[in-house]
Amino acid sequence: MERMMDLNKDDLPLMANTGHMLVKHYVLDLDASFENRIIAGTIVLFLVTGDKFKETGRGAGEECCSQSDDACRDGTSEACHDLHATILRAHMSNTGHKDFAVSDQGEEECFHESGHHGNSEEPSGISSSKSSCDTEHHGREDFVLVLDCCDLSVLKVEEVDVTAVPGIEKYAKSVGLIDASERLRNLRNQIVSELVSLSADCWREQLSCYAQCSQAPGCGELLFATGPWSLRIRKAGVQTPTNFPHAIRIWYKTKPEGRSVMWTTDQSSRPCVYTVGSPINNRALFPCQEPPVAMSTWQATIKASDCFTVLMSGENSPEPLPCQEGLCSWFYYVTMPMPASTFTIAVGCWEEVKRESSIKDIPFFPDHEHRLVKQQCGHMEYPCRLRSPVAEAQAIIPHRVFAPLCLKNRCEEILLPLLPQCLSAAHATLGTHPFSRLDVLIVPSNFSSLGMASPHIIFLSQSVLSGNMDLCGTRLCHEIAHAWFGLAIGARDWTEEWISEGFATHLEDTFWANAQRLLHEEAKDQKELKALLRWRRLRDEVENSEEELQVLRPNKEKTGKVSDSGESVVKHGLNPEKNFMQVHYLKGYFLLCFLANQIGEASYFAFLRRFVQTFHGQLILSQDFLNMILEDIPEQKRCGLSVEEIYCIWLDTAGIPKVHAQPLLILSQTT
């Protein structure tokens, strides 16, 4: 049963039972309808049982590559274009999906006549024409898959018959069962298990198979119900996650008022839509598993009018393909597993800002190179850039800038020259860029922040284009820093925001000083001035906010703990006051200043490069960072510091630390 939420509390529920089943890949096939202000279509989830997630390596399936290793590794735009065309042909040939997304007729008209469905927002149970509590099978209740979902109209859920895909049998092993129906069910699940465990070298083959499976016919509708925060799905007679369908298709549409999607107009008065990093993340964009531990890959086909440009979190720089009269299809994918909350879409009449041919990207070369001895990656297997010598030498990754027409010239003057300088400065500080490309979009004026970073794309407020280059440069550096801290390395518990925001705030100063080519004394003066301003901001915030909201680890010793099913809450996640606070940015920043002072700045940044090398592609808790850096601090400089002491002074206590905070004390004496 879905827990009844206390509406007087401000904790954000994470309902997905990730301890039982995990989504390993999403395939989205969506239409953006500006007339109805909805995004609608299908999403196919490829799942494994919870125990599968504990495996550290994929291992199996390397022999399944039907192409040469060179072909599997091919990341050219031509290869991506061919894959997009193949997927689009498969989609257009499936007449059962035609015109679903833009229909504004009654929801039941989208179903087969025999379909069972439920879309009532009930606090518990499974809505359908059948009993919601099926206990006739050995007296046990059916297993229920719980997904995070809010502000969505779910129309239909069905199992996908992956065995219908031509050639898919090569992923199946012998299923020695007597019962034919059980044999078929296990065959489908086994195919999915083999597909998700393919070697990283076979990523291109894997994407193609995901696409073909996502277009396979359904083989039975599943019972479902939506609640205020979740979508609950079950199959009658299935009592365990192991036997639950491992490939399911969900037909749904967003609601115009959905809190994950912003329908608006740009600064040139043209319609647009973009997803927002709201407290509820993407659960009002698609049914998903929101807990950070549910790291997955995705691929998405978005159709929109041919006057629009579709930007998205993706490794490729796609060109649109005509799919119907007046419509174009855009295809993006990622091969690095990340939390579903990092997925981003922006659709609008964006103009690409291009530089004149005479202007070149000039990389920044530091005084000395910082090369690390490559160690074995600790993350789950994927095509990792940090293992690539070519990526290591790439100081400036491919990048594009998009903006409304009226801001195009300003972006060409301010933003475009800064981007290669900031990318190069970041590379000089931390090494290999975790992502292969970057789009930067100036979002509409109703964007509530200065910036937001997602994989392969950064949203920037138009405010950064005002005044001189300093505001634009520092904000750009902050968002670029999130590629390492926030995306490539994420917090295993969302309440530890300082792991992302504290690091980005600290690194933006170094990136920006390097991008400006400042001399040592100039950089030092600039950092001290910014520290003083941040000190005053933190002091004011502490004096005018609730103590509970000043704590960087509100769950304290329970940080990172979840229920057996995987369900948890984000403490204060729905508190509107928290959205306007910067305590996680500022206290996290000053903690890092303190540690850098203890270890010495040069040693500190050398340590950060080792830390990124060790933990990229993984989720961490505070102690992972603190244990590693304390080992680097010489005993005579450690002053009795321990993880527990840092917890007590910096992370688990409200207010501004008074002990072991030399930078803070120096600044406080000048105020």
Among 111, 110, 103, smallest CA distance to 36 is for 103
The residues annotated with a catalytic role in the active site are: 479
Average pLDDT of the residues of the chain = 84
557 found inside a domain: no
In the prediction, which pLDDT does 7 show?
43
Dist. CA 272–CA 262, nearest whole Å? 8
Is 314 a domain residue? no
Whether 559 maps to a domain, the answer reads: no
pLDDT at residue 130 is higher than 90: no
Average pLDDT score over residue span 83-91: 61
**Beta strand pairing status for 21-33 and 38-49?**
antiparallel
pLDDT confidence of 293, banded at 50, 70, 90?
Answer: very high
User: In this predicted structure, what is the pLDDT of residue 233?
Assistant: 98
Q: 331 pLDDT exceeds 60?
A: yes
Q: What percent of the chain has pLDDT over 90?
A: 70
User: Which pTM value belongs to this model?
Assistant: 0.87
* Residue 288 forms part of a structural domain: yes
Q: Please name the residues in contact with 105: beta carbons below 8 A apart, sequence gap of 6 or more.
A: none
pLDDT at 174 over 80: no
Confidence of residue 278 (pLDDT cuts 50, 70, 90): confident
With a cut of 90, say whether residue 119 has pLDDT above it. Answer: no
Mean pLDDT (whole number) for 364-376: 59
Q: What is the mean pLDDT of residues 56-83?
A: 42
Average pLDDT over residues 297-310: 97
Give the pLDDT band (50/70/90) at residue 635: confident
Asked if the model's pLDDT at residue 73 lies above 60, the reply is no
pLDDT at 90 over 60: no
Q: Quick one: pLDDT band at residue 641, thresholds 50, 70, 90?
A: confident
pLDDT at 537 exceeding the cut of 80: yes
Residue 3 clears pLDDT 50, i.e. is over it: no
Tell me what pLDDT residue 58 has: 34
**Least confident window among 84-98, 226-240, 247-261:** 84-98
Average pLDDT rounded to a whole number, residues 388-408 = 96
SS3 sequence of 463-532: HHHCCCHHHHHHHHHHHHHCCCECCCEEECCCCCCHHHHHHHHHHHHHHHHHHCCCCHHHHHHHHHHHHH
* Bigger pLDDT: 130 vs 384: 384
Question: Which pLDDT score is estimated for 85?
Answer: 65
Q: Is 458 contained in some domain?
A: no
Does 68 have pLDDT greater than 50?
A: no
The average pLDDT across 506-530 equals 95
pLDDT of residue 108: 32
pLDDT score of 373:
61
Q: What is the pLDDT of residue 100?
A: 35
Number of domains in the chain: 1
Q: Could you tell me the sign of the dihedral formed by the alpha carbons of 169, 174, 180, 182, in that order?
A: negative
**pLDDT range class, residue 181, cuts 50, 70, 90:** low
Q: What is the pLDDT of residues 452-465, one digit of tens each?
A: 999 999 999 999 99
The DSSP H or E segment spanning 589 is: helix 583-599
In the chain, the amino acid numbered 50 is G
Residue 569's beta-bridge partner residues?
13
Expressed as residue numbers, the domain containing 28 is: 14-53+141-253+279-302
Measured distance CA(143)–CA(559) in Å, rounded: 28
Tokens of 506: 């600290």
Q: Which residues pair with 441 in a beta bridge?
A: 402, 459
Residues 6+ apart with CB under 8 A from 494: 292, 570, 573
Instruction: Count CB atoms within 10 A of the CB of residue 115.
Output: 17
Torsion, Cα of 550, 556, 559, 562 (10° steps): -110
Per-residue pLDDT band at 179 (split at 50, 70, 90)? low
In-domain check, residue 172: yes
Of 46 and 448, more confident: 46
Tell me, what CATH number does 289's domain have? 2.60.40
CB 266 within 8 A of CB 274: no
pLDDT band at 360 (very low <50, low <70, confident <90, very high): low
pLDDT average, residue stretch 520-542:
93
Q: What is the mean pLDDT of residues 50-63?
A: 42
Whether residue 591 is contained in a domain is answered as no
Say which range, 452-456, 489-493, 597-601, has the weakest mean pLDDT.
Answer: 597-601
Average pLDDT over residues 109-117: 34
pLDDT digits (tens, 9 = 90+) for 203-250: 999 999 999 999 999 999 999 999 999 999 999 999 999 999 999 999
- Please tell me the predicted confidence (pLDDT) of residue 645: 92
User: How many angstroms separate the CA atoms of 430 and 613, rounded?
Assistant: 9
> For residue 20, what pLDDT is reported?
95
In this predicted structure, the answer to whether residue 62 has a pLDDT above a threshold of 50 is: no
The answer to the question of residue 152 being in a domain is yes
Q: 150: pLDDT confidence band, cut at 50, 70 and 90?
A: very high
Cα–chain-centroid distance for residue 580?
Answer: 22
